[in-house]
């Protein structure tokens, strides 16, 4: 019955798919999808968890949410190509124990079809798959606001992370964007996008305060975006997040910036040590990262 050949088919098929997975980043979006992928749908997510396990007994939750509208559309593509570098630093250099990464995307709930996409916390290359499923909205209205407050609401109320729950260590949330949040979390948008019923609007300052109980929240404003260096937008985020606002001259350095920020936050390195590590792993981002983080480092 030729079962030998069939079983070979199964293994060859698996190999074929594995060979393809590395190369087909953003297959979902590039194939024309314009609705949120089921795996990234906040309505279906309910709770995103970062859990300790036998393999990863001391998990560190790290979430990266980026604006996918307008000029920010290339951010996830850059992230995807730099992902191996980020893991290299986090794991091999011991910046954080058992890092678990989650990716998400932020759009505009007032006009976009896909205002919020949230992946899972993953400790292996499955996070790569989540990146590949993000719909790159691309549009964006240029009204200087995106629904960051909606994303922060999701992170505050729909994630559960063991590093905080079991060990009292806050996780890390990086928001990469170039605009401001809306002043309030809208109950109608929360109902439509996430599925919760809210008795009334929540001020963005309040949801940030709630979020900061379990996460260190950073805002990264990269160069080459619409409002890079914009005083109003920088000022807005500094009022919300204090010194945790990072101006980055080169988007290509975003993974190194995240890695070093985590390393500094975990007190695993000093900034000089971190920059030395970047040189050692052959990253040319040291200068840019050093400049970006010099304002962030707690003295």
The residues that touch another protein, with contacts defined as CB under 8 A, are 1, 3, 6-7, 9-14, 16-18, 20-21, 24, 27-28, 30-35, 37-39, 126, 129, 133
Nearer Cβ to another protein, position 47 or 299?
47
Tell me the closest approach of the beta carbon of residue 15 to another protein, in angstroms.
Answer: 8
Question: Is the sign of the CA dihedral 89, 91, 92, 96 positive or negative?
Answer: positive
Nearer Cβ to another protein, position 1 or 54?
1
Distance (Å, rounded) from C-alpha 270 to C-alpha 253? 18
**Can you give the three-state secondary structure of 69-100, one letter per residue?**
CHHHHHHHHHHHHHHHHHHHHHHHCCCCCCEE
Strand partners, 173: 63, 217
Tell me the closest approach of the beta carbon of residue 3 to another protein, in angstroms.
Answer: 5
Distance (Å, rounded) from C-alpha 279 to C-alpha 79? 19
Tell me the closest approach of the beta carbon of residue 28 to another protein, in angstroms.
Answer: 4
Of 113, 103, 97, nearest to 55 (Cα)? 97
Nearer Cβ to another protein, position 13 or 209?
13
Nearer Cβ to another protein, position 79 or 173?
79
Tell me the closest approach of the beta carbon of residue 49 to another protein, in angstroms.
Answer: 16
Tell me the closest approach of the beta carbon of residue 7 to another protein, in angstroms.
Answer: 4
Strand, helix or coil at 293? helix
Distance (Å, rounded) from C-alpha 197 to C-alpha 178? 29
Nearer Cβ to another protein, position 134 or 155?
134
Residues 70 and 138 sit within 8 Å (Cβ to Cβ): yes
Residues 57 and 100 sit within 8 Å (Cβ to Cβ): no
Nearer Cβ to another protein, position 20 or 188?
20
Contacts of residue 188, Cβ cutoff 8 Å, sequence gap at least 6: none
Tell me the closest approach of the beta carbon of residue 25 to another protein, in angstroms.
Answer: 9
Tell me the closest approach of the beta carbon of residue 100 to another protein, in angstroms.
Answer: 18
Nearer Cβ to another protein, position 14 or 183?
14
Contacts of residue 17, Cβ cutoff 8 Å, sequence gap at least 6: none
Tell me the closest approach of the beta carbon of residue 119 to another protein, in angstroms.
Answer: 12
Residues 76 and 38 sit within 8 Å (Cβ to Cβ): no
Nearer Cβ to another protein, position 16 or 231?
16
Distance (Å, rounded) from C-alpha 180 to C-alpha 139? 16
């Amino acid at each position: 019955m030729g079962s030998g050949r069939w079983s070979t088919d199964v293994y060859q098929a698996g190999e074929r798919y594995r060979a393809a997975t590395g190369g087909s980043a953003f297959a979902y979006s590039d194939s024309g999808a314009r609705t949120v992928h089921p795996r990234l749908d906040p309505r279906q997510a309910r709770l995103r968890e970062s859990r300790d396990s036998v393999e990863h007994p001391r998990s560190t939750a790290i979430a990266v949410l980026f604006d996918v509208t307008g000029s920010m559309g290339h951010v996830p593509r850059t992230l995807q190509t730099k992902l191996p570098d980020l893991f290299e630093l986090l794991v091999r250099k011991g910046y954080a124990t058992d890092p678990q990464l989650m990716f998400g995307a932020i759009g505009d709930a007032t006009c976009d079809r896909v205002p919020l996409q949230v992946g899972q916390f993953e400790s292996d290359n499955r996070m790569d798959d989540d990146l590949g499923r993000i719909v790159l909205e691309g549009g964006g209205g240029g009204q200087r606001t995106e629904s960051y407050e909606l994303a922060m609401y999701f992170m505050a109320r729909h994630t559960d992370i063991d590093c905080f729950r079991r060990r009292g260590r806050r996780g890390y949330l990086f928001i990469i964007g170039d605009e401001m949040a809306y002043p309030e979390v809208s109950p109608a948008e929360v109902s439509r996008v996430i599925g919760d019923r809210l008795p009334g609007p929540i001020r963005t300052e309040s949801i940030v305060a709630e979020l900061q109980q379990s996460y260190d929240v950073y805002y990264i404003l990269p160069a080459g975006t619409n409002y890079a260096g914009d005083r109003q937008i920088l000022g807005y985020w500094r009022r919300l997040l204090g010194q945790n606002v990072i101006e980055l001259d080169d988007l290509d350095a975003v993974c190194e910036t995240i890695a070093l920020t985590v390393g500094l936050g975990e007190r695993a390195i000093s900034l000089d040590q971190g920059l030395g590590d970047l040189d050692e792993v052959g990253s040319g981002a040291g200068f840019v990262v050093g400049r970006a983080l010099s304002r962030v480092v707690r003295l």
